[in-house]
Chain A
């Protein structure tokens, strides 16, 4: 693709907001030297890259040794999202965390939730059939949906129902008899507990299949009859068109737009079947599609995106010795997204439901507070880049520079006029000792805008 450099940069910024968590210009500018398609491939190629070694968090900050604390477990995840070379893996894990919404609220075992998230990282970009097989064997999911109480002769249909209703086909595509058949096929899929390492320690859960508790009776599921087991159910589910639509529609909404697009969803369903249920080719198709490239700022930014984007701009929390990660977990919780603890198995209410008066106030206050500090590495860099080699700049230039440095933020001309008037800056702003403060003041106004809530 040969386009003017500026267009390229905006597209890179967009890709980094959607396939990653958003970066300031000083961190993505150099990426514009590569072809767009190569950037996409680089993001998709997670296998050749490392996950961060966050054991240093525990070694140097004793608070991180508290593995049983929800906010600390979420804080570890924030460290990953900020620092993992496999950033798309984190973005996709967050996607599945919302779609397969499993939480810590019921079990109170954060280590189990962490293991659940590792499973979503390992398989989230892989094959959807494998993903459902792993999900059905995942201790946190089993506990969350009472699958351990699903016995031969006494079924608990919770997991069977949610697998069909919320994790794949969706309501209206199966009958109540299918739900019963699915639940019966998963009888005997349960949990085993190890003896804890320490007195009163955590009882490690693992998946176990108990043959003697499995109901081998003849079942009929979506028209297939026989002595069906859980994996047979999954086989039938993944080849169903409703499942293809579920995966396609949800990926589109997450990565492209809060508003679905039937034609694009149809194409994605085709990719799903052609690749035998692989997620990565669907992602490749999305990022390379024109509809994706055109969909800049068409989504209300998720609280987690908002927080990580802002932290990335400040350049903070890039080394494991810096304390205070927990504050990030608390911040997104106050904005309506408590990681590892979704409000229900339906996941979070996204789109415009991310904005209520309290959540909006938290978003604006967090952004202004973090980015209003001239002493973070990121803001020092940004102030330097705006001022280097100049003796003065105009107010208009200052606004444009700030928008660019924050990651090609787009605002309406009306908003820009308001910023110009309310900042009340002189026509020529001197580059002097007080200049950094003028930059952060302008940035405070920008991040308080409506436009900055979009991503």
Chain B
């Protein structure tokens, strides 16, 4: 086993984001099965009480979440229901942008995790401080001048891989020299951006190449995209490359129709891959400094449409990890029609409260400049890594 041992591996706090795209129906993820209104509104896409994995006499997990329920049982999973932002926007795009930029009122390109990476590594000493897996860098990690590595498939990640031997070596030498950015010059901002990205890509590819080589594990991840992304994240984390922020995505949650089959499949995918990931880290004694956030851009309507559910508000998030104090944080929004917000669950937790908790209690970063304001934290949700 060549993986860095626990004694030598950095214990700096590491944060993993899993984005559920399309608007996961949180009401069918953590199910308020004890509330009679639930079955009034969910006549066709409701989960029968006998199938709910109950956590108390009011709530329970979707039956496809059996593995996640085990994490809950061990006290390492926090549920944050009713999470959102003022003036809910039912547009996927806008809503996702709001989560990514932590800016609900105006459109900006700077991502909140880009700001986190800048805070963690102001000198840009490590291009792999933030690494995203999947297709395309999420806006959350985009910040002009701050490196962020975007990886499709870790094993295939590399420059000029169709070339071999001397031919490849020459081409890589040329590449490295051609991409060195010149002195900052307004007229060549684009060329400087391409240059910096090229140098980061090359440095990142070199660094990341060792991760799969060093890795060995008894965990067999699934072939699906999220499992492969999380496997890549485990490999990079275990290789101890100094990465502090990871990102992975699971799309397909826009269940206007055929919700029962689709959501079950996706939640099972989520549940299995996340459990494999933490089992993998535990096998290598490397789980202690990792916290994962699972979020989605919005929840869905309270009343189903006969086959699925339409865009709504009041979504939900999970925080998972050894350092997370499990439990249900905050109240589940009421299903009582008197409390609805135009057919939606009324959100009662600002997403920036969750961000602020992570920033302050996990990273030790002053939250206000990153989320652009002061938001009440969730107390006791995270137990910081000892200095």
Residue ranges of A at the interface with B (Cβ–Cβ < 8 Å): 105-106, 158, 258, 300, 333-334, 336, 338, 343-346, 349, 351-353, 355-362, 364-365, 368-369, 372, 415, 418-419, 422-424, 441, 444-445, 448-450, 453-454
Contacts and interface: CB of A to CB of B under 8 A. Distances in A.
A445 B170 CA distance: 9
A356 to B, nearest CB: 4
B201 A357 contact: yes
Contacts of A356: 136-137, 142, 148, 150, 197
A258 B177 contact: no
Nearest to B172: A448
Nearest to B131: A357
B171 A445 contact: yes
Contacts of B93: 343-346
Interface residues on B, range: 35 or more
A130 B161 CA distance: 48
Interface stretch (B4-12, B186-194, B265-273, B327-335): B186-194
Interface stretch (B32-40, B151-159, B354-362): B151-159
Most interface-central of B149, B158, B177, B197 (chain A CB within 10 A): B197
A359 B160 CA distance: 13
B15 to A, nearest CB: 20
Given A357-B200, A368-B160, A450-B198, A352 B193 contact: yes
B1 interface: no
B178 A449 contact: yes
B162 A372 contact: yes
Nearest to A441: B167
Given A422-B177, A448-B175, A450-B191, A365 B160 contact: yes
A356 B111 CA distance: 14
A300 B190 contact: yes
Contact of A444 (B150, B152, B171): B171
A372 B149 CA distance: 27
B338 interface: no
Nearest to A351: B190
Given A357-B201, A360-B194, A444-B160, A334 B152 contact: yes
27 contacts: A352-B193, A355-B193, A355-B194, A355-B197, A356-B142, A356-B197, A357-B137, A357-B147, A357-B148, A357-B150, A358-B151, A359-B136, A359-B150, A360-B201, A361-B159, A361-B205, A365-B159, A369-B162, A422-B173, A422-B174, A422-B177, A444-B160, A444-B167, A445-B171, A445-B174, A450-B179, A450-B191
A365 B135 contact: no
A118 B147 CA distance: 40
Contacts of A445: 170-171, 174
B81 interface: no
B152 to A, nearest CB: 6
A345 B157 CA distance: 30
By Cβ-Cβ distance, the 10 closest A-B pairs, closest first, are: A344-B93, A358-B150, A357-B201, A422-B174, A369-B162, A356-B137, A450-B194, A352-B193, A418-B177, A356-B150
A145 B173 CA distance: 49
B344 interface: no
Contact of A424 (B160, B170, B189, B193): B170
B163 interface: yes
Nearest to A419: B174
Interface string B250-279: 000010000000000000000000000000
B204 interface: yes
B195 interface: yes
B92 interface: yes
Contact of B197 (A158, A333, A360, A368): A360
Contacts of B198: 360, 450
B178 A450 contact: yes
Contacts of B147: 357
Contacts of A362: 152
A268 B124 CA distance: 44
A70 to B, nearest CB: 13
Nearest to B204: A357
B254 to A, nearest CB: 7
A193 to B, nearest CB: 14
A360 B198 CA distance: 7
B170 A415 contact: no
A415 B178 contact: yes
Contacts of B189: 352
Contacts of B158: 361
Contacts of B135: 333-334, 336, 338, 358
B194 A352 contact: yes
A365 B159 CA distance: 6
A365 B162 contact: yes
B190 A423 contact: no
A358 B137 contact: yes
A444 B163 contact: yes
Given A360-B201, A422-B177, A448 B170 contact: no
Contacts of B152: 334, 358, 362
Contact of A258 (B161, B190, B195): B190
A361 B157 contact: yes
A372 B163 contact: yes
Given A418-B177, A422-B177, A444-B160, A361 B201 contact: yes
Given A360-B197, A418-B174, A448 B160 contact: yes
A345 B90 CA distance: 13
B160 A364 contact: yes
Contacts of B150: 356-359
A415 B179 CA distance: 9
A105 B179 CA distance: 36
Nearest to A369: B162
A423 B170 contact: yes
Given A357-B204, A424-B170, 12 more contacts: A346-B93, A351-B190, A352-B193, A356-B137, A356-B142, A356-B197, A358-B151, A361-B201, A415-B178, A441-B167, A448-B175, A450-B195
